Structure 1
Amino acid sequence: MTSPRDLPQDLHAFTDPTSVAVVGASDNPAKWGYWLATGALEGAGRRTVHLVNRSAATVLGTSCAPDLASLPEAPELVALCVPAAQVGCVVEDGMALGVRGFLGITAGIPDESGLAARIRGAGARLLGGNSLGLYDADSHLRLAWGHFSPGPLAIVTQSGQLGSELVIRCARGGIGISRFVSIGNQSDIGATELLADLATHRSTRLVALYLESFSDGEALFGALRRLRAAGKPTLLLTIGGSRASARVARSHTGSLTSTTDVVEAACRAAGVLRVRTPSELVDVARGYLAVGTRSGRRVAIVGDSGGQCGVAADVASAGGLSVPDLGAAAIARLGSRLPAGAARDNPVDLAGRGEADLTTYATVLDDVLADPGIDTAVLTGYFGRYGTDNPALTSHELGVADRIAATARSRDKTVVVHTMAPDGAVAEALWRQGVPATGRIEDAVRMVSGLAALSCELPGTTDLPLPADEPPIRPGYWAARELLRSVGVAMPPARLARTPDQVREAASRLTPPFVLKAGWIEHKSEADAVLLGLRDEEALLAAFASMRARLGEGDYVVERQDTRPGCVEMLVGARRDRALGPVVVVGLGGTETEVWQDTAIECAPVPSGTAEAMVARLRCAPLLAGWRGRPPVDTVHLARLVVALSQLIAARPDLAEIELNPVRVGPHGALPVDALVIPTHDSQLRRDSRLHPDSQDSRFSQDSYAPDSEDVTA
């Protein structure tokens, strides 16, 4: 359900104001006031423009007012480029007049948060401070440093200077800007509102977003998902990846999921492509604006050099693309065109035929694109340079380029060209016709990978079946078992015991071998708080006496040990990220979980198909599929556990973390044999906190145990 904060507020003052005032306007090109004044005056045919300077009668040949109070009307938007100490007074004057919006260029504004609160209280809004400004092509609004050309890319950026770099790089690549917003300190208006407003922005086809923090992450990615659904995907550039927060995590799930992991998961859920550098962002943006959404990951590589074909195949595979075998029909067609000895499978080496007849490039590309198992073709090598080296071939080569572009259109598939003449006439002609042409194979492959990601359908949403009788979220292993049982997750048959008599009773009701656990300790192996393989009642009693002497009184749990052969120990966990919401994790489990760090993470909740895909992309997937003659384990039931925990964490805001580790996955089921639950209110408790007999959890009686069932499936 969409919440009110997810909806864009009235941002008209910042997108198409009826009047603008630049306070601090200047004739000096080295000052901010010059750039904002010249930009504002460019839109004077659409809106009223006022320049304010307390010591100059005119600026840029335009009359100036000494202050806002001297203006003949209240401007809808006021740009603030005065010293920080003067900002408060200017804002107070503006609010008294009824100004609707303030653009804060100035950095270091005293008590900026308090000033923003007063502005909101007056019914106005603040963009900034410390903003580089804004630009809107549709409304001819420029209040920013620098030059802008109109186009289809919107830029929303937390760093003004990095935003300027993107604008400059885009201009070099022939990409114009539909809207530019430097959000600065986000003291009032934040990225979420600005992104939501882009959904109805006429000129915007693609969004570039630079953010350093995700304090309102759930709402932010909700807005990005709606942008994608509106046909305006987002390229996200961010920094970080620190695992500093993992040092204080109480579960393996927390320690294995960095901020970057969660951001990547949120991007997948919202259909956002995360890029690593400004150049990558511009490359993918150029490709998307040329090609649109018709790309896929199954790539055919065609070239006139065996070496370049091989490098292209390696780079494509390393970039997550598939270089599949061609079908028999495609290979047969190629056999009739290429000389004997030419590589006719994927990659396809023209073996000199392209040089002998340039039209071969177009016909071979048509052959491979006709294969239903191919989504995209990458042409690598010399094509594009023939006319550069021999001008007599220019016309012929341009004609072949036209044929290549026509083939891509007729097949409704993508062709990307890696050429040794990226600035030549052929490359320019290819770009004009929707065929990206780049000078580096890694750039070509990166473009294909990005286009494929932007072409994928949005992940489906999942309904949340809530338990009819929700038990409270409490710490401790016994409480974790109760919570899991309430959502249909089976656990080993067990008994709660605090005294030797209760231990004897547990032994009489359960089948050996037994497991004894100190239920209040979170990481039991490290504290010697779990003992396995207790063969009979005598061994169980001795273990209980020894453990209680070391660890003290508390809630001990006696379980029937899972002894099924052929099991693999896995981890399934979920946690609530403070900024980005609930996530679910599956990975290789056991005591060495953090050593291997083999995990897959997605935003919760997830449908069964996504859960199965998470399991399949683990590095340990071959171990689950059967290794060296072992039978495959039940990954279907493992995926069901992933779904169950994802729904639980999404449905219960009082749950901070939950982890099943290890989950013993065998050929006939997946059985969690330990669990950790951390309530939201308890997320800062000491690691060694425990439940005592007089605690609230003493309500769990001897009758609160899992049934003695042989069913070990989730």
Structure 2
Amino acid sequence: MIFSDPASVAVVGASDDPAKWGHWLARGALIGRDRRAVHLVNRSGGPVLSEPTVRSLSELPEAPELVVLAVPAAHVPAVVDEALAVGVRGFVGIPAGIDDGVISRIRDAGARLLGPNCLGLFDAATSLHLAWGRFQPGSLGVVSQSGQVGLEIAGLAAESGLGVSRFVSVGNQADVTAAEALLDLVSHDLTTVVGVYLESFGPGIVSAMAELRAAGKPVVLLTVGSSSAAQQAALSHTGALTSSLDVVDAACRRAGAVRVSTPAAVVDLAAVVSSGVPRGCRVGIISDSGGQGAIAADLAAVAGLSVPSLSSVDGLPAVASNPVDLAGAGERDLSNYARAVEVLVRGGDVDTVVLSGYFGSYGADTPSLEDAEVAVAHRICSLARETGVPVAVHSMCADSAAVRALRAGGVPVQHTIERVVAALGDAARLGALSVAAAARSGALSLPLAGAPTGPELSVPAGRIESGDPFRGDPCASLPHQPGYLTARELLSFVRFPRAHAVTSAAEVKATTLTGPYVLKADWLPHKSEHGGVKTGLTDPATAFEEMEARLGPGTYVLEEMDTREDAVELIIGAKRDHSFGPVILVGAGGIHAELFRDTAIELAPVTPATAREMLARLVLAPLLSGRRGAKPVDVTALAELIAQISATLVARPDLSEIELNPVRVGPDGVLAVDALIIPSGDRLNDTSGRRVA
């Protein structure tokens, strides 16, 4: 309760100067003095806001439960030492630059610190206002790593009529984390929807968002890092195909949250779902202008919404189509707006409703119509509450009595149609993510042993027959220089072509494998780029001599070539993300994987069912089901392999990445024809295979 409803607070650095932090924090703290003891500390001892102050915490009759540090960073160590000495248990660190030694002393004393470098906190339920700025009480919980972005979200929430239930600026998260702040909102009664801004993601964020979703509190996430922040790995295609936002989106899918791109989008979406998440993506559009209805329909398609035909049109005071054009019916009788809304929300054909156009302007332009328009607004709000079908309004009037009545009744209103439709599209996406996340929860435990089941391959699949670094132990330690042969042995459940490790032309000539052949340099991660792979060979000994002359002596791999013409090439890659841990990727494979960038990504581990969903999202998905007379490929075996790779990385903390590329899948099964493993913390030289610093 220290950071939500403390019994007493002290603002150290309280000031009478309105331009200083200490003034805002003192003024906010005094708002809650009917609920708790409030102490103002100022080293001069003069009054602040006409309230008495003390010069130090030691002058107080008892230790405050929570202390707000509103002094320059240079003065913080002395204040913290004094506070700990008198028994303070919680701190709000406003200034940046609080050194690690001070933070350690707070932790060692068993106290907690919010921040440093934070804007503070606010709780509407407990009259706790220890932050810069003004907050309108409402239902949106805000947790923000950036105080300024969080304050912008709070301001937009006030303008929208949504308001803020709790605001927590976590700053540098030296002690209290964003995950903890989110978990506190699970049982916070005033909070019905949560907006989060984060620039980095620590442990527990995904589970905290999932708990909020399970508690019926939708989570809207805002973050940054779309291009320059993309995470690249020099050795694997997997790293090059995975950006920071790809992984964040995978985390959102796991938690049942949704990511948006702007503070306004956070509030717009939160306003739509604060009273309920849409059941689907079907939208009904009502307008008093044919042009505005058509624009809304076009925007709906862009937002991923469908505009279905209406099966039930009885009672519509207009043309019975979707979009519904009132065509003057609203001007003749304002109640026709509510009648049209009622037909759509009760008809069962749509999941959300947009009302676009002049409504909200009648009372502003013709004051004698204000009461009637407000009454219609109340009726629209009642219909949305009764049916659970979200209604959103685009009004040509930015503010009026009817607009305020709609917002107060839980119906969001925007001055532009694009914001309304975008929010409804995000709401439909959130609904789908929530349902999928709930279905996936509890189904993520996977076995590690055993090959995927499925029909036998027409191409013989086998193990390495000589020169193997270690044999068949998936828990064995990694050798100093892991290459393709090592990867084959580690991934014992994967089907590979029959192969030999060879170090001389004589060994190549003595092969018992069946051609055509493939020759590979074992140690090269990117074999094609360095001429380290040759395919379709009928004279592998000559090819070996040429390759060895260019690349030098070492271990090479002679392999039977997969010649199935109906196989589709994919990449399966698993990597350890620095924020979210293991992730799994599947996409278009082969040497052009980075060119096509056709991928699907999820947090690991995944079930075979989730793996099939990933495959269905790919652009190349139609190739898997067969087209132009081709037979469908063995998607069951492919999905099981994806799940096994994901589980292997989770179980092997000594691995940073696993990559199979390409994986060739046909009607008769799955065959991996190259593999790469990267140990955690290791970077391999791209041509020598030797580890470098």
Q: TM-score normalized by structure 2?
A: 0.88
1:319-398 pair list within 5 angstroms: 319-323=303-307, 325-326=308-309, 330-331=310-311, 333-334=312-313, 344=321, 346-349=322-325, 361-362=337-338, 364-369=340-345, 372=348, 374-385=350-361
Q: The residue matched to 1:92 in structure 2 has which SS?
A: helix
Cα distance in structure 2, aligned partners of 1:147 and 1:181: 14
**Which of 288, 292, 301 lines up with 1:308 in the alignment?**
292
Alignment pair present for 1:454 and 2:440:
no
> Given the superposition, is the C-alpha separation of residues 408 and 81 from structure 1 closer, same or farther in structure 2, using an over 3 Å criterion?
closer
1:59 matched to 2:63: no
CA contact (8 A) 1:298 1:375 kept: yes
Query: What TM-score, normalized by structure 1, do the two folds share?
Result: 0.85
User: Tell me, what secondary structure is at the counterpart of 1:467?
Assistant: coil
Structure 1 residues 153-552: aligned runs within 5 Å: 153-214=140-201, 216=202, 218-243=203-228, 246-289=231-274, 291-323=275-307, 325-326=308-309, 330-331=310-311, 333-334=312-313, 344=321, 346-349=322-325, 361-362=337-338, 364-369=340-345, 372=348, 374-385=350-361, 401=377, 404-455=380-431, 456-457=434-435, 458-459=437-438, 460-461=440-441, 462-467=444-449, 470-472=474-476, 473=478, 475-485=482-492, 488-506=493-511, 508=512, 510-535=513-538, 539-552=539-552
Cα pair 2:9 2:39 within 8 Å, conserved: yes
- In structure 2, runs of 5+ residues without a counterpart are 451-472
Partner of 1:97: 86
Q: CA deviation at 1:360?
A: 5.6
Q: Secondary structure at the match of 1:14?
A: coil
Q: Deviations over 1:87-137 (max 9, x none)?
A: 11111111222211222222333xx11210111112222222222222222
> Distance in 1 between the 2:373 and 2:509 partners?
88
Q: Contact conserved, 2:286 with 2:326, CA < 8 A, in 1?
A: yes
Aligned match of 2:106: 119
Match of 1:618 in 2: 618
Change (3 A) 1:635 1:356: farther
Q: Which residue does 1:5 correspond to in 2?
A: none
Match of 1:235, SS state, is strand
Cα contact 2:501–2:556 (8 A) shared by 1: yes
**Given that residues 447 and 644 in structure 2 are in contact (C-alpha distance below 8 angstroms), is that contact kept between their aligned partners in structure 1?**
no
The Cα of 1:39 is off from its aligned counterpart by 2.1
Deviation, structure 1 residue 243: 4.3
Judge conservation of contact 1:295–1:451 (CA < 8 Å) in 2.
Answer: no
Structure 1 stretch displaced more, 545-554 or 256-265: 545-554
- Report how far residue 585 of structure 1 moved: 0.9
Structure 1: stretches of 5+ with no match in the other structure: 1-11, 693-714
Evaluate the alpha carbon distance shift between residue 23 and residue 410 of structure 1 in structure 2; reply closer, same or farther with a 3 A threshold.
closer
CA contact (8 A) 2:315 2:339 kept: no
Aligned partner of 2:684 in structure 1 is: 685
Q: 1:156 to 1:490 in 2, by over 3 A?
A: same
| Distance in 1 between residues matched to 2:385 and 2:673, nearest whole Å | 56
The residue type paired with residue 45 of structure 1 is D
CA distance in 2, matches of 1:41, 1:397: 40
Sequence identity, in percent? 52
Amino acid in the other structure paired with 2:73: A
Give, as a single letter, the amino acid of the residue that structure 2 aligns with 1:149: Q
Q: Is the 8 A contact 1:295 1:448 kept in 2?
A: no
Residues 152, 204 of structure 1: 8 Å contact kept: yes
Spell out, residue by residue over 1:462-502, the C-alpha distance to the aligned partner (whole angstroms, 9 max, x if none). 113233853434521112122222xx322222222223343
Partner of 1:573: 573
For the 8 Å contact 2:272–2:390, the answer to whether it is kept is no
CA contact (8 A) 1:243 1:259 kept: no
Against the structure 1 CA distance between its residues 356 and 105, is the aligned structure 2 distance closer, same or farther, given a 3 Å change threshold?
closer
CA deviations 1:7-34 (Å, max 9, x no partner) are xxxxx32222222222222222222222
Partner AA of 1:270 in structure 2: A
Deviation per CA, 1:504-534: give whole Å up to 9, x if none.
343x2x3221111111111111111111111
Following the alignment from structure 2 to structure 1, what is the Cα–Cα distance between the partners of residues 26 and 364?
Answer: 46
Q: 1:53 to 1:244 in 2, by over 3 A?
A: closer
Q: Structure 1's 29 and 573: CA in aligned 2 closer, same or farther, altered over 3 A?
A: same
Deviates more, 1:31-40 or 1:249-258: 31-40
**1:65 Cα shift?**
2.0
Paired position in structure 2 for 1:38: 27
Amino acid at match of 1:465: P
- How many angstroms does 1:257 deviate by? 0.7
Asked whether the 8 Å contact 1:555–1:691 carries over to 2, the reply is: no
Alpha-carbon RMSD: 2.8
Q: Please state whether the residue corresponding to 1:517 is helix, strand or coil.
A: strand
Contact kept? 2:160, 2:407, Cα under 8 Å: no
Structure 1 CA distance, aligned partners of 2:372 and 2:188? 42
Q: In structure 2, what is the Cα distance between the partners aligned to 1:595 and 1:337? A: 52
Q: CA deviation at 1:268?
A: 1.5
Change (3 A) 1:353 1:493: farther
- CA distance in 2: counterparts of 1:45 and 1:381, whole angstroms: 46
Shift of 1:582: 0.9
> Residues 308, 62 of structure 1: CA spacing in aligned structure 2 closer, same or farther, 3 A cutoff?
closer
Secondary structure of the residue aligned to 1:614 is: helix
Q: Is the 8 A contact 1:605 1:650 kept in 2?
A: yes
Q: What whole-Å deviation, never above 9, does each CA across 1:616-644 have from its counterpart, x for those lacking one? A: 22223344444555444444433333222
Q: State how far apart, in whole Å, the 1-side matches of 2:585 and 2:92 are.
A: 42
> Does the Cα contact within 8 Å between 1:243 and 1:258 map onto a contact in 2?
no
1:492, 1:307 → 2: CA distance? 62
The alpha-carbon deviation at position 397 of structure 1 amounts to 5.2
Identify the match of residue 147 of structure 1 among 123, 134, 140.
Answer: 134
Q: How far, CA to CA, are the matches of 1:57 and 1:363 in structure 2?
A: 63
Give the CA deviation at 1:238: 1.4
2:684 and 2:690 in contact (8 A); partners too: no
Residue 512 of structure 1 aligns with an amino acid whose one-letter code is G
Conservation of the 8 A alpha-carbon contact between 1:381 and 1:418 = yes
Distance 1:604 1:101, change over 3 A: same
The answer on whether the counterparts of 2:232 and 2:239 sit within 8 Å (CA) in structure 1 is no
Count of aligned pairs? 660
Q: Conserved in 1, the CA contact under 8 Å of 2:283 and 2:352?
A: yes
Partners of 1:230 and 1:406 in 2: how far apart? 24
Q: 1:14 to 1:393 in 2, by over 3 A?
A: closer
Secondary structure of the residue aligned to 1:574 is strand
Structure 1 residue 245: deviation in Å? 5.5
| C-alpha separation in 1, matches of 2:548 and 2:559 | 17
Provide the C-alpha distance between the structure 1 equivalents of 2:608 and 2:210, rounded to a whole number of angstroms: 21
